[in-house]
Amino acid sequence: MMATVNENFLKLQAGYLFPEIGKRRRAFQQSHPEAKIISMGIGDVTQPLAPAVIEAMHGAVEEMRKAETFHGYDDGGIGYEFLREAIRDNEFQPRGVALDIDEIFVSDGAKSDTANIQELFGLDNIVAVADPVYPVYVDSNVMAGRTGAMAGQGMYQKIVYMPATSENGFVPEPLKEKADLIYLCFPNNPTGAVATKDQLKKWVDYARQNGAVLLFDAAYEAYINDPAIPHSIYEIPGAKEVAIECRSFSKTAGFTGVRCAFTVIPKELLVKSGSGQRIALNPLWNRRQCTKFNGVSYVTQAGAAATYTAEGKKQIRSTIELYMNNAKAIRETLASLGYQTHGGVNAPYIWLKTPNNLSSWEFFDLVLTKANIITTPGVGFGPSGDGYVRLTAFGQPENVKEALKRISRLF
Ligand SMILES: Cc1ncc(COP(=O)(O)O)c(C=O)c1O
């Protein structure tokens, strides 16, 4: 006798994109040891933490030195009140969104929250995602058993894929068919697209009419420049009854290695039980987090709260501006060279159409071998991503400049 495996894990496609990029990079570097490879593909940030954050974290460490100010478990593991109040007062109240702090759950990342949130829903729910898509939404549902096998072309059976293409401006319209859990990500990774109020309203209306739930990933909302673009799904009337929102300090404040994020589950959000009862998700997520998660460290939460001080706000804004200056340089240089790009205006990602109808991997290889630059092949995010590569604005400005010089000489 032997223990048996969760068969759903066997349905997962091998983590293919980033290992394959690494393999091709190493092979090229081995045969060209002199080449100075620049990555425009990384999704990680490069700039240091804001001084206000560092100071607050140092202060919090000092508090841990004395019994009177020591902090142990974060009661309940859903975030200290000081941080949840700061989130409510700075992220939502100014946008006309009234939340109770017990609708805000602090966590260690939007990756874990967007992956774990599906646990609240029955296995018979139909999941819809954009194509291309941040892979976590799909893979977490595969692991849970909400999909069939891989049906070829990088798509799983029983998942509804909504093509995000240049024809729809990379913002899929609500579906004709029924879906129960709809993942939306704006500003989008990988396309850099944003959704207008009207576009989001259509999704909120769809969810209200069809009893669906929107899982809204706003990890990049801090990169929105256009004042007309909503930062939160809750800026759309009626969204509180149908939407969960995930946010993160990772790209907003350079917390990729520190780890802090939060998820909002309004108390009005109800789903149905098998016996037809209406069930609120907010207490269920509280229960789930209290059972499976023991909170983010006090030091980290003190650092996250410092992003909402006057100094902290100024400092994180200036880092975001540095990245967005990179984005502008990338967009403008590529446009002047005749490339077609999308995104990079309200998002740190630039979605570049490959020239001459090259596939994503053909263009990846060309740019690696001729310009020694790493890009991320769009097809790695879904079949509709073929013919694109993703560039990120998170590099060091001098590397971005050098990379653009090399791209200018490519053809
Ligand atoms: C769309 C999207 N959501 C969530 C995350 C994960 O963020 P975190 O660092 O908070 O786990 C990322 C990170 O790349 C992302 O691109």
Per-residue pLDDT of the chain (411 residues; tens, 9 = 90+): 899 999 999 999 877 788 899 999 999 999 999 999 999 987 899 999 999 999 999 999 999 999 999 999 987 899 999 999 999 999 999 999 999 999 999 999 999 999 999 999 999 999 999 999 999 999 999 999 999 999 878 899 999 999 999 999 999 999 888 899 999 999 999 999 999 999 999 999 999 999 999 999 999 999 999 999 999 999 999 999 999 999 999 999 999 999 999 999 999 999 999 999 999 999 999 999 999 999 999 999 999 999 999 999 999 999 999 999 999 999 999 999 999 999 999 999 999 999 999 999 999 999 999 999 999 999 999 999 999 999 999 999 999 999 999 999 987
The protein residue with its alpha carbon nearest to ligand 1, atom 12, reads: 111
Task: List, in order, residues 6 or more apart from 350 with CB less than 8 Å away.
Answer: 192, 327, 330, 331, 334, 341, 342, 343, 344, 390, 391, 392, 393
pLDDT at residue 151, rounded to an integer = 86
Closest Cα to atom 1, ligand 1: which residue?
189
Give the distance (Å) from ligand 1 centre to CA of residue 219. 6
Cα(206) to ligand 1 centroid in Å equals 26
* CA 250 to ligand 1: nearest atom: 9
Residue 200 and residue 231: Cα distance in Å, rounded?
A: 11
In ligand 1, which atom is closest to the CA atom of 256?
9
Token readout for 408 is 């200018």
Q: What angle do CA 131, 92, 168 make, to 5 degrees?
A: 25
Residue 274 exposed, middle or buried by CB count within 10 Å (0-12, 13-18, 19+): exposed
Within 6 A (CB) of ligand 1 lie: 43, 109-111, 114, 134, 185, 189, 217, 219, 248, 250, 256, 261
Sorted by sequence, the CB contacts under 8 Å of residue 47 that are 6+ apart come out as: 254, 319, 322, 323
Spatial distance between the Cα atoms of 248 and 304, rounded to a whole number of angstroms: 10
Distance CA 344, CA 351 (A): 8
Q: Which residue's CA is the nearest one to ligand 1's atom 6? A: 111
Specify the pTM.
Answer: 0.97
Query: Which of 18, 46, 134, 184 for mutating ligand 1's site (highest number of atoms within 8 Å of CB)?
Result: 134
Distance 187 CA to ligand 1 centre (A): 12
Q: List the Cα angle 170/328/163 in 5-degree steps.
A: 10
- List, in sequence order, every beta strand (DSSP E) within 178-273: 181-185, 213-217, 243-248, 261-264, 270-272
Contact status, residue 97 vs residue 235, Cβ threshold 8 Å:
yes
Query: Is the Cβ–Cβ distance between 297 and 75 less than 8 Å?
Result: no
Atom of ligand 1 nearest to the CA of 188: 1
